[in-house]
Structure 1
Amino acid sequence: MTSNTADKSTPQTHSRARRLIEKWLAPTGVALNGTQPWDLQIHHSGFYSRVVRQGSLGLGESYMDGWWSCARIDQFIERVLLANLGERAHTRREKLLYHLQTSLTNLQSRTRAFIVGEQHYDFGNDLFEAMLDETMCYSCGYWKGADTLHEAQVAKLDLAARKLQLRPGMRVLDIGCGWGSFAEHAARHYGVHVTGITISREQAELARTRCEGLDVDILLEDYRDLEGSFDRIVSIGMFEHVGQKNYQTYFDTVERLLAPDGLFVLHTIGSNNSEIGADPFINRYIFPNGVLPSVAQIAMPTENAMVMEDWQNFGADYDRTLMAWLKNIESAWPSLPYDERTQRMFRYYLASCAGAFRARDLQLWQVVFSRRRSGRYDAPR
Structure 2
Amino acid sequence: MSSDKQLFSTSGSFSSNYEQEVVCDLLSKAGIQVNGVNSWDIVVSDPRFYPSVFRQGSLGLGETYMAGFWDSVSPDITLYKLLTANLENQAKYNLKMVLYRIKAYLFNRQSVQQVSRDIHRHYDLGNDLFEAMLDDRMIYSCAYWQGAKTLEEAQEKKLDLICRKLHLEAGQRLLDIGCGWGGLAGYAAEKYGVEVLGITLSEEQAKLARKRYAHLPVTIELQDYRDLTGRYDRVVSVGMVEHVGYKNYSLYMQTVDRVLKNDGIFLLHGIGSNTSMKHTDPWIDRYIFPNGMMPSMQQITKAAEGHFVMEDWHSFGNDYEQTLREWRKRFKQAWPSLSAKYGNTFYRMWNYYLCCSTASFQAKKNQLWQIVFSKMGNHRIYQPVR
Q: TM-score normalized by structure 1?
A: 0.96
Counterpart CA distance in 2 for 1:8 and 1:94 is: 17
Where 1:365 maps in the other structure, the secondary structure is strand
Are residue 206 (structure 1) and residue 208 (structure 2) matched?
yes
Change (3 A) 1:89 1:345: farther
2:132 maps to a residue whose letter is A
* 1:338 aligned partner: 342
1:98 to partner: Cα distance? 2.3
SS in 1 for 2:311: strand
Contact 1:18 1:49 in 2 (8 A): yes
Change (3 A) 1:162 1:261: same
- Tell me by how many angstroms 1:90 deviates: 8.1
Across the aligned residues of Structure 1 and Structure 2, the Cα RMSD in angstroms comes to 1.6
Using the TM superposition, name which of 370-379 and 42-51 deviates more.
Answer: 370-379
Alignment of 1:130-141 (within 5 A): 130-141=132-143
2-side partners of 1:357 and 1:6: how far apart?
A: 28
Distance 1:318 1:133 in 2: 14
Please give the secondary structure, in 1, of the residue aligned with 2:211.
helix
Whether 1:156 and 2:169 are equivalent positions in the alignment is no
2:66 is aligned to: 64
Could you tell me which of 312, 327, 349 is aligned with 2:353?
349
Deviations 1:331-372 (A, max 9, x none): 001101210100111000001110110000100100000013
Residue 380 (structure 1) aligned to one of 365, 370, 385: 385
Partner SS state of residue 221, structure 2:
strand
After superposition, residues 348-367 of structure 1 pair within 5 angstroms as 348-367=352-371
Q: 1:167 to 1:37 in 2, by over 3 A?
A: same
Deviations 1:139-167 (CA, angstroms, capped at 9, x unpaired) = 11111111111111111111111100000
Residue 193 of structure 1 is aligned with which of 192, 195, 205? Answer: 195
The one-letter amino acid paired with 1:356 is S
Determine helix, strand or coil for the equivalent of 1:97.
helix
Task: Give the conservation status (yes or no) of the 8 Å contact 2:116–2:201.
Answer: yes
Q: CA deviation at 1:123?
A: 0.3
Number of positions where the alignment pairs a residue of Structure 1 with one of Structure 2? 379
Q: Hey, what does 2:222 align to over in structure 1? A: 220
Q: Distance in 2 between matches of 1:109 and 1:52?
A: 33
| Cα deviation, residue 135, structure 1 | 1.3
Q: 3-state DSSP class of the match of 1:339? A: helix
- The 2-side partners of 1:296 and 1:378 are apart by 24
SS at match of 1:338: helix
1:89 Cα offset (Å): 7.7
- Matched position secondary structure for 1:194: strand
Residue 181 of structure 1 is matched in structure 2 by: 183
Q: One-letter code of the match for 1:184?
A: G
User: Hey, what does 2:237 align to over in structure 1?
Assistant: 235
| Structure 1, unpaired ranges of 5+ | none
Counterpart of 1:257, as a letter, is V
Using the TM superposition, give the Cα deviation of residue 82 of structure 1 relative to its aligned residue in structure 2, in angstroms: 1.2
| Contact kept in structure 1, 2:143 and 2:154, CA below 8 Å | yes
Matched residues in 2 for 1:93 and 1:75: separation? 30
Deviations 1:74-116 (A, max 9, x none): 1111111111124468833243222321222111111212022
Give the counterpart letter for 2:356 in structure 1. S
Q: State the match for 2:328 in structure 1.
A: 326
Indicate if the aligned counterparts of 1:322 and 1:354 stay in contact, CA closer than 8 A. yes
Q: Distance in 2 between matches of 1:88 and 1:348?
A: 23
Distance 1:233 1:359 in 2: 31
Between the aligned partners of 1:137 and 1:179, the Cα distance in structure 2 is: 7
